[in-house]
Amino acid sequence: MSEAAITRALARFLATSRWEDVPEIVRHEGRRSLLNYVAAALSGHADPLIARLLRVLSPLSGARAATVVGQRARLDVLSAAFVNTATVNVQDFDDTHMPTVIHPTAAVASPLLAWSEHAPVGGRDLLHALILGIDAECRIGNALHPSHYRRGWHTTATCGVFGAAAGIGRLMGLDEDHMVWALGNAATQACGLIENLGSSSKSVGVGNAARNGLAAALFAQQEVDGPAQPIEGARGFIAVATDTPHPDAVVRDLGAVWEIRNNTYKPSPCGVVLFPVIDACLALRASHRLTADQIAHVTVTGHPLLLERTDRPDVTIAHQARVSLQHTAAVVFLYGAAGIVQYGQDCVDAPEVGALRAKVSAAVDPQCPVESAAVSVRTTDGRTLDKRVAAWRGSLALPLSDANLEAKLRDVVAAVAPWCDAGRLIETVWTIERLPDAAALMRLVVP
Amino acid sequence: MSEAAITRALARFLATSRWEDVPEIVRHEGRRSLLNYVAAALSGHADPLIARLLRVLSPLSGARAATVVGQRARLDVLSAAFVNTATVNVQDFDDTHMPTVIHPTAAVASPLLAWSEHAPVGGRDLLHALILGIDAECRIGNALHPSHYRRGWHTTATCGVFGAAAGIGRLMGLDEDHMVWALGNAATQACGLIENLGSSSKSVGVGNAARNGLAAALFAQQEVDGPAQPIEGARGFIAVATDTPHPDAVVRDLGAVWEIRNNTYKPSPCGVVLFPVIDACLALRASHRLTADQIAHVTVTGHPLLLERTDRPDVTIAHQARVSLQHTAAVVFLYGAAGIVQYGQDCVDAPEVGALRAKVSAAVDPQCPVESAAVSVRTTDGRTLDKRVAAWRGSLALPLSDANLEAKLRDVVAAVAPWCDAGRLIETVWTIERLPDAAALMRLVVP
């Protein structure tokens, strides 16, 4: 593949891909990504940040065609794409494309769903556009990796804008030329910094990716043309934004290899490095029928990154709990779960959790792979119980099952969205291709 | 100045600068930048691209508080900031901060003026915010230069978002902490590619800078917080976006050196490399009372860049005329001017212009500085007339006078906005500090 043809080849694929050529296993990963998207969106809707974003955007919103997850307020399609993407991402409970650390679905699905409320579309076309948008987004991410992320670009935002433009361009039926323009309008809007993670402005970056990708396609539809090679050109996005360019990765095996198959889903609303810790604690608890009062001390051993990010014994607010190995081990041993409830403020404040957190310490093992961890429990009667986990549940090696994803959604609904009919929502996602009007999905995620 | 304190020091300056501490010569450059802004905006309002942008944004616009230059339609403040910035920049007739090649005023003044229609503000405060916004924008540009631009970032867009956030943050009265957040929200939205110049998508980049800078400040006002060091942090914008970082340039001599004093204004709506050519032709025409029928041949000699960009003998559409040295020399010898009219389609099509274009050839002189050019005329009666120009009118060495700027505005009004009262507009800009309601200015730029 000549570098000169990369944007064009991608645009042609996006414009001409046929549903019949998308394998069932890829389609199903699309449904799984969408189910996880809905769970993550419901998990974030009550975050105070969302109310702040709405205070800015609601008065500036035009034709209120689109639903905002978990809210009665409606917004125009651009603003809804922004807020819903922030909602999905704000609790860090969304998905992860493992090769690039992109959280891919939020910025693509949000504008697609908003657009489906403005211009009716069948569920099959929406799912197809979602799979294609995620493919474009993650392929561009592959082309930039690893320098792009290491340098400090927040790939979820920088690549999300391309995914949104690609998905919406497909849903609008843009032809190859207009799709090149949509990708060009996206390229000049690609931005987002790692420096902003940990602050509310992270949501500005990811929300913008969705909004601006939708705008990029809308502009292209109205003949706002772009350059021929926005991705691979001499001053195109790859050239400016990475020191390790792999432009061919954008188009290699297009239609044969689907990046959505590298997508993973978080079993718990916490830092990904904590997942093997959760699994080890769960295994110890079950196999030894451990109760909290039998625990004298817990030692969590892992990769240096685990300690750097999560060795946090003093936890007073929920935000900190999600990046605390002490809190995580404590709630798993106490309650046998690490869901929304266990990372909520009530659990943070519970005296028994505080008491057990104080018995957990961390140790580094430079030889320990980052996806692995070991937990050692000393019991009050003098035993030492050990468990090492090599791959976390939810990783590519050990993917969440469909039932796990359903349970994740039910857990979120029970904890923060009791008005939602989880069963109907799950059924709607699994059968989305049969929906004549994809917007029906959005009617299930508002009170 | 410790690097750790750069964003904070800039924010403090923006939040606490006093009008009394802004020297009159700086204030006057602010007025001149604003006058040139208005001229450039009127020059662009009828460009077909603006209608396309409006077709996308108008139905999505919320509370229609803000004027769009030259249009009856009104938009919400975010969309108006976008469209007016595109309008100012679309004809390449706006200003240039010479050290960085940023076109600084459009992305700052557009959101300020839009905001002034939503939340009334005096002319003095608006001018002060404009000067501060441009200072922040160009200082960040200095900190990134030259690698940032060379690599392919369109600095007008990437730095414009900071200028807009800084100016609006000032106008809103954000305190130091909130200003740090506004700059952080801007940093995660900073983008724009050189690759997109020459296509309509350039306007998406610059329009977005203004829109997103305004949004950045609005979010900060609603407590959407950002990181402590978005500009100078380890993964802050300087670290990710340049290989030649000069973080101290953001705050060096803050309040003593004002970047707006490095601003320049285009005397003609054409490529900046053509300015010395225009001046040389004008000088030859005047000093020898040359008429077109006396000209046998014209040779334009200049820097390699002059030929690379503008050696374009075949001109059929207005867009090409602005980057053609043949067209430029022809119209100046014929009409003694190189304004909007001379770069319009009628002049492109005029037989006498075509005939004279055919007599103009280009020659390269590698020794010739880029800001210089030489023109040699062979007359029909066998004379050779030479003129070399060392610095173009409008450069920092030879700035446009206030009268020149007024003439530029009058020329634009006569050519494309005859409904506009140029005299009243000029008077309003020169006396803007006395305006109790700065929005009065916008009422003069609509039909």
- Residue B361 sits at the vertex; the CA angle it makes with B357 and B366, to the nearest 5 degrees, is 140
pLDDT of residue A338: 95
Q: Are residues A106 and A22 in the same domain?
A: yes
Query: Does A192 sit within 8 Å of B224, measured CB to CB?
Result: no
Q: Which amino acid is at B196?
A: N
Question: Structural domain of residue B188, as residue ranges?
Answer: 3-267+399-443
Q: Are residues B261 and B297 in the same domain?
A: no
Examine residue A135 and state whether it is found in any structural domain, yes or no.
Answer: yes
Which tokens belong to B283?
Answer: 């000088």
**Average pLDDT, stretch A394-413?**
96
| Ranges of residues in chain B whose predicted pLDDT is under 70 | 1-4
Which of B193, B225, B235, B319 to mutate to probe the A interface, most A CBs <10 Å? B193
Per residue in A161-176, is it b (16+ CB within 10 Å) or e — as a string? bbbbbbbbbbbbebee
Q: Which residues of B touch A62 (CB under 8 A)?
A: 59-62, 76
Task: Examine the pLDDT at A356 and tell me if it is beyond 70.
Answer: yes
CA B175 to chain centre: 29
**Longest Cα separation, chain A:** 75
Examine residue A243 and state whether it is found in any structural domain, yes or no.
Answer: yes
pLDDT of residue A92: 86
Q: Which of A184, A190, A237 sits opposite B199 (nearest CB)?
A: A184
d(CA A225, CA B212): 21
d(CA A311, CA A274): 10
pLDDT of residue B271: 87
Comparing C-alpha atoms, which of B269, B260, B249, B213 is closest to residue B140?
Answer: B249
DSSP A354-419: HHHHTTEEEEE-TTS-TT-EEEEEEETTS-EEEEEESS-TTSTTSPPPHHHHHHHHHHHHHHH-TT
pLDDT of residue A1: 44
Examine residue A169 and state whether it is found in any structural domain, yes or no.
Answer: yes
| Domain end among A345, A365, A389 | A389
Examine residue B303 and state whether it is found in any structural domain, yes or no.
Answer: yes
Query: Does A181 sit within 8 Å of B201, measured CB to CB?
Result: yes
Q: Which residues of A touch B194 (CB under 8 A)?
A: 235
Q: Are residues B60 and B85 in the same domain?
A: yes
DSSP B260-287: GGGEEE-SSSS-GGGHHHHHHHHHHHHH
In 3-state terms, what secondary structure has residue B309? Answer: helix
Q: Please give the C-alpha separations between residue B390 and each of B311, B331, B387, B395, in angstroms, as whole numbers.
A: 20, 21, 10, 11
Q: Are residues A202 and A68 in the same domain?
A: yes
Q: Which residues pair with B389 in a beta bridge?
A: B373
Q: Please give the C-alpha separations between residue B80 and each of A103, B61, B168, in angstroms, as whole numbers.
A: 32, 9, 14
Instruction: Decide if A72 touches B, using CB distance below 8 A.
Output: no
Instruction: Decide if B52 touches A, using CB distance below 8 A.
Output: yes
Task: Examine the pLDDT at A308 and tell me if it is beyond 90.
Answer: no
Q: Is residue A86 within 8 Å of A101, Cβ to Cβ? A: no
Q: Is residue A406 within 8 Å of A31, Cβ to Cβ? A: no
Query: Does B181 sit within 8 Å of A224, measured CB to CB?
Result: no
Q: Please give the C-alpha separations between residue A273 and each of A54, A284, A318, A342, A392, in angstroms, as whole numbers.
A: 32, 19, 17, 17, 9
Query: Does B55 sit within 8 Å of A76, measured CB to CB?
Result: no
Examine residue B394 and state whether it is found in any structural domain, yes or no.
Answer: no
Q: Are residues B65 and B96 in the same domain?
A: yes
d(CA A228, CA B154): 17
Query: Does A236 sit within 8 Å of B195, measured CB to CB?
Result: yes
Comparing C-alpha atoms, which of A430, A311, A295, A305 is closest to residue A362?
Answer: A311
- Angle subtended by helix axes B201-221 and B77-89, to nearest 10: 140
Question: Chain A: nearest CA to B181, how far in angstroms?
Answer: 8
Examine residue B313 and state whether it is found in any structural domain, yes or no.
Answer: yes
User: What φ, ψ does residue A378 adopt, rounded to 5°?
Assistant: -100, 125
Per residue in A43-60, is it b (16+ CB within 10 Å) or e — as a string? bbbbbebbebbbebbbeb
Query: Does A181 sit within 8 Å of B188, measured CB to CB?
Result: no
DSSP state of B358: T
pLDDT of residue A4: 58
Q: Are residues A237 and A287 in the same domain?
A: no
Q: Which of residues 215-234 of B touch A (CB under 8 A)?
A: 215-216, 218-219, 221-227, 229-230, 233-234
* Tens-digit pLDDT profile for residues B154-184: 999 999 999 999 999 999 999 999 999 999 9
What percent of chain A has pLDDT above 70? Answer: 99
Query: β-pairing, A384-389 with A373-379?
Result: antiparallel
Closest-CA residue of chain B to A193: B188
Mapping DSSP onto H, E and C, the string for A154-201 reads CHHHHHHHHHHHHHHHHHHCCCHHHHHHHHHHHHCCCCCEHHHCCCCH
Query: Does A185 sit within 8 Å of B188, measured CB to CB?
Result: no
Q: Are residues A412 and A379 in the same domain?
A: no
Q: Which residues pair with B378 in a beta bridge?
A: B297, B384
What total of structural domains would you count in chain A?
A: 2
d(CA B257, CA B138): 12
Q: Are residues A151 and A259 in the same domain?
A: yes
What percent of chain A has pLDDT above 90? Answer: 94
Number of H helices, E strands in chain B: 20, 8
* Tens-digit pLDDT profile for residues A20-54: 999 999 999 999 999 999 999 999 999 999 999 99
pLDDT of residue A319: 80
Q: Are residues B193 and B219 in the same domain?
A: yes
Q: Is residue B426 within 8 Å of B409, Cβ to Cβ? A: yes
Task: Examine the pLDDT at A347 and tell me if it is beyond 70.
Answer: yes
Which tokens belong to A95?
Answer: 């998905």
Instruction: Decide if A141 touches B, using CB distance below 8 A.
Output: no
pLDDT of residue B218: 98
Q: Which residues of A touch B188 (CB under 8 A)?
A: 154, 157, 191-193, 195-196, 201-202, 204-205, 208
Question: Chain A: nearest CA to B199, how far in angstroms?
Answer: 5
Closest-CA residue of chain B to A118: B60
d(CA A303, CA A365): 6
Instruction: Decide if B85 touches A, using CB distance below 8 A.
Output: no
Query: Does A189 sit within 8 Å of B208, measured CB to CB?
Result: yes
| Domain end among B389, B408, B428 | B389
Examine residue A384 and state whether it is found in any structural domain, yes or no.
Answer: yes
Q: Which residues of A touch B217 (CB under 8 A)?
A: none
Examine residue B246 and state whether it is found in any structural domain, yes or no.
Answer: yes
CATH number, domain with residue B353: 3.30.1330.120
Task: Examine the pLDDT at A69 and tell me if it is beyond 70.
Answer: yes
Task: Examine the pLDDT at A271 and tell me if it is beyond 90.
Answer: no
CATH number, domain with residue B242: 1.10.4100.10
Q: Where are the beta strands (DSSP E) in B206-245?
A: none
d(CA A299, CA A302): 10
Which of B74, B83, B154, B201 to mutate to probe the A interface, most A CBs <10 Å? B201
Q: Are residues B409 and B371 in the same domain?
A: no
d(CA B165, CA B183): 6
Which of A53, A76, A193, A223 to mutate to probe the B interface, most B CBs <10 Å? A193
Question: Chain A: nearest CA to B74, how far in angstroms?
Answer: 12
Q: Are residues B256 and B292 in the same domain?
A: no
Q: Are residues B91 and B134 in the same domain?
A: yes
d(CA B137, CA B149): 14
Q: Which helix (H) or strand (E) holds A211?
A: helix A201-221
Query: Does A63 sit within 8 Å of B63, measured CB to CB?
Result: no
Question: In the predicted model, what is the mean pLDDT of chain A?
Answer: 96
d(CA A283, CA A295): 15
Q: Which residues pair with B286 in a beta bridge?
A: none
